[in-house]
Chain A
Amino acid sequence: MAIISTAGLARTFHTKTGPVEAVRGIDLTVEPGEILGFLGPNGAGKTTTLRMLTTLLSPTGGAATVAGHDLVREPEAVRREIGYVAQSSGTDPQVSVREELITQGRLYRLGKEAAEERAAELAHDLGLTDLLDRSCGALSGGQKRRLDIAMGLVHRPALLFLDEPTTGLDPGSRADLWDLVRRIRDEQGMTVFLTTHYLDEADELSDRLVVVDRGVVAAEGTPEALKRRYGGSADASLQDTFLAITGRGPAPVDTTPVAV
């Protein structure tokens, strides 16, 4: 059974300058254990979709089931099953890494000792052990991102959402992070739903891609299938493929940090 399925999921924001249809009707399914890349240019509606799927934002249309629970009717049950690593960090720069990890465990209702053990275990797994007593504000970009992911893994979720996990990181840290995401999935069988506007990241990391543009799904399939279908051949660049799908210049393939 699919771990995520949505039908016509939509969100319109009402702003002073009129309604903004950020997400106009998304239909997708995600199978357990896959890494799904949700690829689209800035402003395509990726974050808005993610915020709906993680119960942070209520949809204005459509429906979704996440980890076996109805998104709108059982948000608490959904929250217990998922981890969410937002685009911005989520940790207090003044608080120590250790304290944030323990607090996060306790927010997921782990007991005090269990939370402490889990913090130590995650720190070990993600290479944060030497940083535990540092304040979060003193970490480098790559270290902070690893902490953010550790925060999302505290309760061993079945499903992890990552919003633009490598935006702003240097090439070395990006490659490390890709390895980390693959390792989490391989070792723990976790499902990963990640958004990105980087074609190389989508290509490298995803088992399957959903290309989103202007709030709707423009195409979906494995990176190879998309290249064959839209780019002309399996060795077509994802860049050309993307251009063919969206009719627009894609996001940069390089690692230059892009303002979000």
Chain B
Amino acid sequence: MSSLLSDTALIFGRYVRQTLRSKFQIFFGVLMPLLYLLFFGPLLTGLPLGGDGDSWQVLVPGLLLQLGLFGALFCGFAIIIEKQHGVVERMRVTPVSRLALLLGRVLRDAALFVFQAVLLVVAALVMGLRAPVGGLLIGFAFVGVLTVALASLSYALAMKVSAPQAFGPVINAVSMPSMLLSGLMLPMTLAPAWLDVLSHFIPFRYLVDAVRAGYVGEYTGTAMLYGVVVALAFAALSLALGTKVFQRAGA
């Protein structure tokens, strides 16, 4: 157990230093959600979006998870490059914990996207967002857990493919429908029945609903419960799958 912790800290540190070497990467991820905030957010003010809270309380949770969704799903790209340099095998041949090889990386990713989420929320507060502090913190926690889940899946997939060209299309095929079907932009309560039903099969839907509930101060309702359960189960499954891939990569 203590070796898992120290191995994870070691891997985490290595990839944090990697991120800090490219300052550009740290801020680039916030760009897209920031554009939505600036140029799409104002369109929603005053529109009847259903549910509680104003349009910012609906939009910002969606943008936070969008940031996690797109950012984390693409994390695998980096490991394809590392694989080509032989870095992954070099680490796998050492006694380092397989879980730590994955966990160190995804925790770095979670830290990066939570940092970006903070920047986004600060910008949103300037634009007019008002939400309870507890809700804001819950939002960051969901970004972190979502990142752990999706980045694990992304690394697992990237370990399996041999070239970046094979990786991009799969990620795009997953991310776009997930974004549209989970009501990241507009709540699914506005959707016709068939779309609403369909969206219940997309795990992100529960996460968005939970963060939206948090942003209006509803911490103990079913939306929050479902969101927490789905997020944690998703993260646990993804980590288990990812660890397995690190154990048997190349097999």
Whether B52 is near chain A, meaning CB under 8 Å from some CB there, is no
B93 and A55 within 8 A (CB): yes
Residues B51-102 near A (CB distance < 8 A):
82, 84-87, 89-96
CB contact between A109 and one of B18, B82, B95 (< 8 Å): that residue: B95
Residues A62-89 near B (CB distance < 8 A):
76, 79-80, 82, 84, 86-89
B251 and A94 within 8 A (CB): no
Quick one: given A88-B84, A92-B85, are A54 and B93 in contact (CB under 8 Å)?
yes
CB contact between A56 and one of B6, B93, B96 (< 8 Å): that residue: B93
State A153–B90 Cα separation when bound (angstroms).
Answer: 12
Whether B131 is near chain A, meaning CB under 8 Å from some CB there, is no
Q: List 6 A-B contacts (CB under 8 A).
A: A54-B93, A55-B92, A57-B251, A89-B85, A92-B85, A107-B91
B10 and A90 within 8 A (CB): no
CB contact between A90 and one of B7, B21, B86 (< 8 Å): that residue: B86
CB contact between B86 and one of A86, A94, A103, A106 (< 8 Å): that residue: A86
Please, what's the 1-or-0 string for A9-20, where 1 marks a CB less than 8 Å from any CB in chain B? 000000000000
Nearest B residue to A58 via CB reads: B251
B250 and A57 within 8 A (CB): yes
B248 and A58 within 8 A (CB): yes
Give the secondary structure class of B's interface.
Answer: helix
Which B residues are in CB contact (< 8 Å) with A55? 92-93
* Interface hub of A86, A88, A103, A107 (most chain B Cβ within 10 A): A107
Whether B220 is near chain A, meaning CB under 8 Å from some CB there, is no
State A80–B14 Cα separation when bound (angstroms).
Answer: 21
Which B residues are in CB contact (< 8 Å) with A106? 10
Which B residues are in CB contact (< 8 Å) with A90? 85-87, 89-90
B95 and A76 within 8 A (CB): yes
B146 CB to closest chain A CB (Å) equals 27
Nearest A residue to B93 via CB reads: A84
Interface residues on B, range: 20 to 34
A92 and B82 within 8 A (CB): yes
CB contact between B95 and one of A51, A86, A88, A108 (< 8 Å): that residue: A108
Residues A23-57 near B (CB distance < 8 A):
51, 54-57
* Interface hub of A57, A91, A92 (most chain B Cβ within 10 A): A92
Residues A92-136 near B (CB distance < 8 A):
92-95, 99, 103-104, 106-109
* Interface hub of B10, B21, B86, B249 (most chain A Cβ within 10 A): B86
A118 CB to closest chain B CB (Å) equals 14
B95 and A80 within 8 A (CB): yes
Which A residues are in CB contact (< 8 Å) with B91? 107
Which B residues are in CB contact (< 8 Å) with A104? 90, 94
B21 and A94 within 8 A (CB): yes
A224 CB to closest chain B CB (Å) equals 33
CB contact between B250 and one of A51, A99, A109 (< 8 Å): that residue: A51
Quick one: given A80-B95, A106-B10, A107-B94, are A56 and B89 in contact (CB under 8 Å)?
yes
State A104–B92 Cα separation when bound (angstroms).
Answer: 11
A86 and B90 within 8 A (CB): yes
Whether B165 is near chain A, meaning CB under 8 Å from some CB there, is no
* Interface hub of A58, A103, A104 (most chain B Cβ within 10 A): A103
Which B residues are in CB contact (< 8 Å) with A51? 89, 250
A88 and B14 within 8 A (CB): no
State A58–B250 Cα separation when bound (angstroms).
Answer: 9
Quick one: given A86-B86, A86-B89, A86-B90, are A103 and B250 in contact (CB under 8 Å)?
no
B82 CB to closest chain A CB (Å) equals 7
Which A residues are in CB contact (< 8 Å) with B85? 88-93
Whether A151 is near chain B, meaning CB under 8 Å from some CB there, is yes
Please, what's the 1-or-0 string for B238-251, where 1 marks a CB less than 8 Å from any CB in chain A? 00000000001111
Nearest A residue to B21 via CB reads: A94
B251 and A88 within 8 A (CB): no
A103 and B93 within 8 A (CB): no
State A194–B91 Cα separation when bound (angstroms).
Answer: 20
A89 and B86 within 8 A (CB): yes
B93 and A79 within 8 A (CB): yes
State A108–B91 Cα separation when bound (angstroms).
Answer: 10
